[in-house]
């Protein structure tokens, strides 16, 4: 039996495209800093503002999408993201940049909520870990594609034109999903521990918010995503400051982001082979702790090549975390209709952390005048992630 069908691929492709939209800003950030006179803190806010929608609405949108229809919401999200990207040629002020990145964030959020829930609906239990591994690669593959190709395209096109092309791509994928994705009679992968009658919007939100295993997973997920986004988001600026061209910096950062796929795919395969989730999460957080220190605190005595390799390992080892946590979330969801809401709670915590951590990191680096300060932020997040998951496995693992 094939583990993947063509409808799986269209859903996953929507996630990849959403991640490309997330990664496109960090690539042109050095250009925007000149064009719009952005300070480093404003640049950090421009990276964070896209998470505003998730920070405010992820749980409620997740619950609402189950009621409105996952497919319908996925298509709507692609249209929202496409329209926001088409506004690229008119982004001539900081306010407009913030506004359309926030709207784009709503589209990204909804795709991130609906796609895993759709995959759960259309998958058999024995294939879900593999598909979650493939799905979890969407951030790594999408962002790496953006940071690798956009600097090359900038030699021939303006960044505004590139954003228009990406916007049109959203409409194309939305049309394909409308025509070819059918989830009406798909198999369920889990049984609900809560009676099906309790499926009102408020009931879904309430049982999700009061389910301790999902809360622990959400905090741990935020510890991973916020530091990964902050590190990969600022690496182009760090490398440009060190004298590299934007093209070279984009190539190097794309390799860092692409390395994340090794972790996400690898975790899916290891889970299939019987590795425990506890072991994978310990490896992920300890690995990120060590490699982030090597990446940021050793620039005075360690060769650039070793620092770059450390950044690659940071991304690759950390990649085991999202696959593992997403797979656990689908297992521990409190209600058969609460899968999107459970993922929504993960993304709401994650988005809140992704909003504040890059902004705080930029301000911290500006105050200390050294990028080494980033390692303090990443180390604390790794320690918090380890603590929360230790609590989870002691009290709630089954």
Give per-residue pLDDT as tens, 259-315. 888 888 888 888 878 889 999 999 999 999 999 888 887 555 567 788 889 999 999
Is 284 within the bounds of a domain? yes
Give the contacts of 293 (CB within 8 A, at least 6 positions apart): 375, 378, 379
Is 1 within the bounds of a domain? no
Average pLDDT, the chain: 83
Is 331 within the bounds of a domain? yes
> What CATH number is associated with residue 110?
1.20.1250.20
Locate 237 and state its tokens.
Answer: 């600026």
Q: How many angstroms separate the Cα of 90 from the Cα of each of 78, 85, 177? A: 20, 10, 29
Pick the range with the lowest mean pLDDT from 52-66, 128-142, 187-201: 187-201
Is 53 within the bounds of a domain? yes
Is 191 within the bounds of a domain? no
Is 189 within the bounds of a domain? no
Asked whether 190 and 330 are in contact (CB, 8 A), the reply is yes
Asked whether 18 and 167 are in contact (CB, 8 A), the reply is no
- Residue range(s) defining the domain that contains residue 24: 6-182+196-395
Asked whether 217 and 392 are in contact (CB, 8 A), the reply is yes
Is 311 within the bounds of a domain? yes
Checking if the pLDDT of 18 tops 90, the result is yes
- Structural domains of the chain, count: 1
Give per-residue pLDDT as tens, 80-118. 999 999 988 888 888 888 899 889 989 998 998 888 888
Residue 268's φ and ψ, nearest 5 degrees, are -60, -45
Which of the two residues, 318 and 206, has the higher pLDDT score?
318
The secondary structure of the chain, three-state, reads CCCCCHHHHHHHHHHHHHHHHHHHHHHHHHHHHHHCCCCHHHHHHHHHHHHHHHHHHHHHHHHHHHHHCHHHHHHHHHHHHHHHHHCHHHCCCHHHHHHHHHHHHHHHHHHHHHHHHHHHHCCCHHHHHHHHHHHHCHHHHHHHHHHHHHHHHCCCCCHHHHHHHHHHHHHHHHHHHHHHCCCCCCCCCCCCCCCCCCCCHHHHHHHHHCCHHHHHHHHHHHHHHHHHHHHHHHHHHHHHHCCCCHHHHHHHHHHHHHHHHHHHHHHHHHHHCCCCHHHHHHHHHHHHHHHHHHHHCCCCCCCHHHHHHHHHHHHHHHCHHHHHHHHHHHHHCCCCCCHHHHHHHHHHHHHHHHHHHHHHHHHHHHHHCCCCHHHHHHHHHHHHHHHHHHHHHHHCCC
Is 167 within the bounds of a domain? yes
Checking if the pLDDT of 225 tops 80, the result is yes
Angle between the N-to-C axes of helices 94-121 and 40-48, in degrees from 0 to 180, rounded to the nearest 10? 30
- The confidence band for 41, taking pLDDT boundaries of 50, 70 and 90, is confident
């Amino acid at each position: 039996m094939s583990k993947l069908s063509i409808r799986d691929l269209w859903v996953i492709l929507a996630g990849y495209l959403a991640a490309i939209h997330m990664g496109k800003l960090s690539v042109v950030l050095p250009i925007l800093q000149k064009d719009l006179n952005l300070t480093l803190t404003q640049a950090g806010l421009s990276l964070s503002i896209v998470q505003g929608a998730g920070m405010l609405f992820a749980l409620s949108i997740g619950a609402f999408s189950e009621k409105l229809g996952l497919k319908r919401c996925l298509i709507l999200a692609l249209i929202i993201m496409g329209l926001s990207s088409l506004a690229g040629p008119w982004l001539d002020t900081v306010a407009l940049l913030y506004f359309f990145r926030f709207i784009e964030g709503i589209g990204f959020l909804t795709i991130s909520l609906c796609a895993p829930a759709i995959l759960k609906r259309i998958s058999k239990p024995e294939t879900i870990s593999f598909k979650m591994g493939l799905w979890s690669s969407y951030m790594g593959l999408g962002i790496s594609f953006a940071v690798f190709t956009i600097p090359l395209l900038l030699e021939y096109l303006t960044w505004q034109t590139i954003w228009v092309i990406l916007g049109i791509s959203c409409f194309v994928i939305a049309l394909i999903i409308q025509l070819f994705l059918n989830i009406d009679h798909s198999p369920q992968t889990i049984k609900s521990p809560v009676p099906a009658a309790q499926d009102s919007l408020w009931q879904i939100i309430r049982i999700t918010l009061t389910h301790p295993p999902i809360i622990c997973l959400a905090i741990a997920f935020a510890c991973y995503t916020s530091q990964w986004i902050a590190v990969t988001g600022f690496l182009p600026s760090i490398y440009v400051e060190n004298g590299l061209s934007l093209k070279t910096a984009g190539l190097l950062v794309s390799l860092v982001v692409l390395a994340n796929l090794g972790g996400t795919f690898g975790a899916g395969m290891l889970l299939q082979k019987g590795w425990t989730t506890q072991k994978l999460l310990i490896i992920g957080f300890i690995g990120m702790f060590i490699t982030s220190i090597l990446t940021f605190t050793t620039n005075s005595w360690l060769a650039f090549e070793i620092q770059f390799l450390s950044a690659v390992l940071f991304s690759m080892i950390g990649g085991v975390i999202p696959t593992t946590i997403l797979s656990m979330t689908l297992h521990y969801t409190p209600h058969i209709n609460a899968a999107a809401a459970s993922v929504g709670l993960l993304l709401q915590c994650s988005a809140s952390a992704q909003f504040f951590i890059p902004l705080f990191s930029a301000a911290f680096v500006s105050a200390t005048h050294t990028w080494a300060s980033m390692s303090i932020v990443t180390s604390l997040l790794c320690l918090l992630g380890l603590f929360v998951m230790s609590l989870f496995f002691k009290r709630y693992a089954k």
